[in-house]
Structure 1
Amino acid sequence: MSTDRGEEMSRTRDEETARGDDQVAAVALKQYGFSDQLQFRMINLSENATYLVDDPGTGRNGILRVHREDYHPLQSIHSELDWLTALREQSEVSTPVVIPAPDGSRVVTATVNGVQRYAVLFEVVSGLEPDEIALDLGSFTTLGRLTALIHQHSQRWTRPDGFTRFSWDWEHSLGDKQRWGRWQDGIGVGAAETPILGSAADLVRLRLAEYGDAADRFGLVHADLRLANLLIDGDQVNVIDFDDCGFSWYLYDFGTAVSFIEDDPRLPQWQAAWLHGYRSIAPLSVEDENMLATFVMLRRLLLLAWMGSHSHSRECQVKGPGYTAASCVLAERYVASGGKSLSRAVPASGSPQ
């Protein structure tokens, strides 16, 4: 999971220095047969560190992903790569291609200062992110269509033996085994905010329990499927960053589509465009549609927890208080609507309250 890439790179290098990502990248790249002219530079720092790799000596390039220590076990990384490959080969979804090491390894191990870390080299994916400033409806329509294609593949794909990814169910999201920490520890969450957010969390849990986790509603999802993780090159749309993929409700992917912008007044229009794209590929019932606000609220509370667990980040320290305040406004709207909306109520006269 990551916030806007430009903002991520505004973090100081203190975190990278502490993690030793540059050292790990250097050790990992030695296993790929590059020349002594090899150059690499960090282009993204979040849960993982990502590097653009260029070797004038061999004419080869790539994107190296250095995994954060203890975030994913080795088999889980291989499982992600299995799904990436299957999606690309068995559906219309374009995904990154893994570049194996000369010995055939898709995942290489780099040991630095006695700590074992994993890295994966991908081919460079062409294209640019959609304009996240404009956030046009067409982009959300495209995103909805791609989401449906991914869900279709997930439902029909026979996963290989040993496939393992973590779960974004209630227990591992906001329950007793929170993967990103507690929303109660979010930046700026205090005595006034806790009951407001707690009421929303209670309603999310109730709505999810009523909705259920039948096979047509819960399965393998991207879990960070937003515009920042699309690269568009003409008519070609590439889907990247499957690092958080795992098992959750399929419609959780809509919650992730509006990550960090859930309070924007354009949310209803984005949702309508996303639904239009999704329904051009696969059906969604009215019951499904009425659950979208719940998945947006679930994601919002998860991001509160994530920002709290990353409070060492200057970016989170700056954005956290405002994000919490806006989350309280959304929580109040969500509860007032019975879990069906996050939008500001509009009375029958048509004039905003």
Structure 2
Amino acid sequence: MIPEIKAQFTEDILNEAIQRYDIEPGDVRSLGGFESFVYEYAKNGKSYVLKITHTIRRTVDYIMGELEWLNHLADQGITVARAIPSAKGQWIEEIPKDQGSFLVISYEKARGNAISTEVWNESLFEAWGELIGNIHRATKKYEVSSAKYKRQAWEVEEQLRAETYLMPNDVMIDILKERVNRLRLIPQTRDTYGLVHADLHQKNFYLDGQNMHVFDFDDCHYTYFINDIGITLYYALWYPAKKYENKEEYYRTFFHCFMRGYLKQNTVTVEEVSYLHDFMKIRHTLLYIILHQTSDITTLNPEQLKIRAQHQSEIVTEEPLLPIDFVYEFTQIHN
């Protein structure tokens, strides 16, 4: 949580938010939240989610870009957690505070259960790939209704502004700038670039039988489809739901299953796949910067400092994060 947002949040803000959505105070329970305050509540026998963010992070128009795209995906038959208007019919409620405003949005609560070790298998991996392929196919048909609602491009993501959060002498600043500048030169076409979820890891969808219900579109932005794939691979391979003795075999198995599912819904080329390691390294860097944005580095204990140093060493090298040849494995899927 950004310290400036956390410092301004009070019980009065929460009470005002639940009043605007006509929620009984006793029906609200906290779900925590990393960049926003997130709550679950019940109303008329159904479950919903209340999210409270701040203008330090998002503007009203920027959030409207998320909600409009959500509706488009739902209209295309993709199971997403739709937004719910407030008691006065507003998609976003604004609560002024000393330094800006808190912004409140409500969504349907996604059906199903969180991903567990029991369902972490090849069937899930393939369905996951098919889901993202379906989203990419659907977003090719999307046109934002107003320029003011257009979400940002990936390379201007706040957390990629390394010089804002890192020490001036941190080698990461120049390394990140060079990598971003190189990747932004990849040609953009309707078949390779569009509005995507950009954070579809295993904690941002539930499994309801055979159906996957997606939520938390807060980070959606314009980027290459292969970057969106890379983000998912980063979390699934770097932080799997269960341990594997043979990690390299797991990497190959996941990738094969995921891409088989993806190719059922959308196309991707070998050239695009060749950028996967680069985009995974960008995501690894982004998490390094978020650590500096949300924490006081001077208070880290020796073990935390060791982890931070390891994280940095993994980023500065040109070696891939993981020992898998994505291009080779991709060609094997077609053989």
Give the TM-score normalised by the residue count of structure 2.
0.79
User: Percent of aligned pairs with the same residue?
Assistant: 18
**Does the CA-based 8 Å contact 1:40-1:52 persist in structure 2?**
yes
Distance in 2 (CA, whole Å) between partners of 1:167 and 1:250 is 15
1:51-66 correspondence runs (5 A) = 51-54=39-42, 59=45, 61-66=47-52
Gaps of 5+ in 1: 1-7, 9-13, 347-353
Can you list the C-alpha shifts for 1:73-123, whole angstroms capped at 9, x where unaligned? 1111112111111111123x1011222123211111223457421101122
- Per-residue CA deviation, residues 291-322 of structure 1 (Å, 9 max, x unaligned), is 11111111111221111111249999775742
Match of 1:212 among 158, 173, 187: 187
Give the 3 Å change call, closer, same or farther, for CA 300–233 of structure 1 in structure 2: same
Residue deviations 1:250-289 (CA, integer Å, cap 9, x gap): 1111232144566574444333332121112112111111
Letter in 1 for 2:154: D
Matched, 1:285 2:252: no
1:11 corresponds to which residue? none
Q: Which amino acid aligns with 1:343?
A: L
CA distance in 2, matches of 1:308, 1:157: 35
How far apart, CA to CA, are the structure 1 residues paired with 2:106 and 2:195? 23
Q: Distance in 1 between matches of 2:110 and 2:174?
A: 41
Q: How far apart are the structure 1 equivalents of 2:55 and 2:299?
A: 21
Residues of 2 paired with 1:47 and 1:203: CA distance? Answer: 26
Between Structure 1 and Structure 2, the one with more helix by share is 2
The alpha carbon displacement at 1:229 in A equals: 0.6
Equivalent residue, structure 2, for 1:274: 258
**Cα distance change, pair 263–161 in 1 and its aligned pair in 2 (3 A):** closer
* 1:161 matched residue in structure 2: 146
Structure 2 gap segments, 5+ residues each: 240-246, 326-335
Answer whether contact 2:42 2:48 (CA < 8 A) is retained.
yes
CA apart distance, 1:159: 2.2
User: Which residue does the alignment assign to 2:323?
Assistant: 344
Give the aligned length. Answer: 315
| 2:13 aligned partner | 24
TM alignment of 1:67-216, pairs within 5 A: 67-91=53-77, 93-112=78-97, 115-131=100-116, 135-162=120-147, 164-170=149-155, 172-173=156-157, 178-182=158-162, 194=171, 202-203=178-179, 205-209=181-185, 211-216=186-191
Structure 1 residue 167: deviation in Å? 2.5
Over 3 Å counting, the alpha-carbon distance change for 1:281 and 1:259 in structure 2 is: same
1:320 to 1:120, Cα distance in 2 relative to 1, 3 A: farther
CA RMSD of aligned residues (A): 3.5
> Which SS does the other structure have where 2:149 is aligned?
coil
- Output the CA distance in 2 between the equivalents of 1:299 and 1:244: 13
Task: State the match for 2:295 in structure 1.
Answer: 311
Secondary structure of residue in 1 paired with 2:203: helix
Partners of 1:21 and 1:298 in 2: CA distance:
35
For the residue of structure 1 that corresponds to 2:171, the secondary structure is helix
